[in-house]
Amino acid sequence: MSRLFDLTGKVAAVIGGGSGIGAAVARGAAGQGASVVVLDANETAAQSVASSIGAGAAGLDIRTAREVGSALDAVVRDKGSLDIVICTPSINVRKPILQYAEEEFDRVVDVNLKGSFNVLQAAGRIMIAERRGSIVIFSSIRSQVVEPGQSVYAMTKAGIVQLVRTAAAEFGAFGVRVNAIGPGVVETPLTAPIKAHREWYDAYANKSALRRWATAEEMVGPTLFLASDAASYVTGTILFADGGWTAVDGRFTPPGM
């Protein structure tokens, strides 16, 4: 059974691998035997993670389709193939709808939604030609449930789910699988402002069934499951790694329970 999760001989591009969940996934993939390339908008951070695991690295802004295509083509030239692409980057501007500025809307959509589309398109072209591969894009619990101030972020994360489903339908005949991960609250640089606000941090912890936040390392298992042969018949789905957040409706325990 352990061979199902073995990535030996696989080439994995981890986009957003310079920090947070992406860095944890890059380390995890390397630990499972994959030949990893770390791609990140912060090239210095990408190089730092890559040097710690013996991987390659390069800078990448996923907002530009040509740059994404060039980066993934370079992986194929250098490594000979591209078996796994994992895309983690996203940004959030927490504001009520009526206060959202046009440039803020564009910024969130460009990274989260357009960037994910660019990755799906570039990776899909390569993998369809190779007639194999696994693409994992990061969505969120916000694709399903929301709170005030999450309008544009939630919109993009829901959009990612539909992009993934469509890509799975279009790429499946060529042996290419496409799936999404839906994290709950994870301690990363993106969520640092929440951690600094104790009441907010505790409220999020208590919302999940496990009553705590996740670490970035706890996203590695679900991600590598989808990337590996253990998920060879899994495509077009979103795997929630949210500590039960989307399963639990409220916190009141009825008397006698």
Active-site annotation, residues = 153
Q: How far apart are the first and last CA of the chain?
A: 39
**Crossing angle for the helix pair 102-109 and 151-171, nearest 10 degrees?**
30
Provide the b/e sequence for 223-257 (b: ≥16 CB within 10 Å). Answer: bbbbbbebbeeebbbbbbbbbebbeeeeeeeeeee
Q: What's CA 187's distance to the chain center, in Å?
A: 14
A 10 A CB-CB count for 173 gives: 9
Helix and strand element counts for the chain (H, E): 9, 7
What 3-state class would DSSP assign to 59?
strand
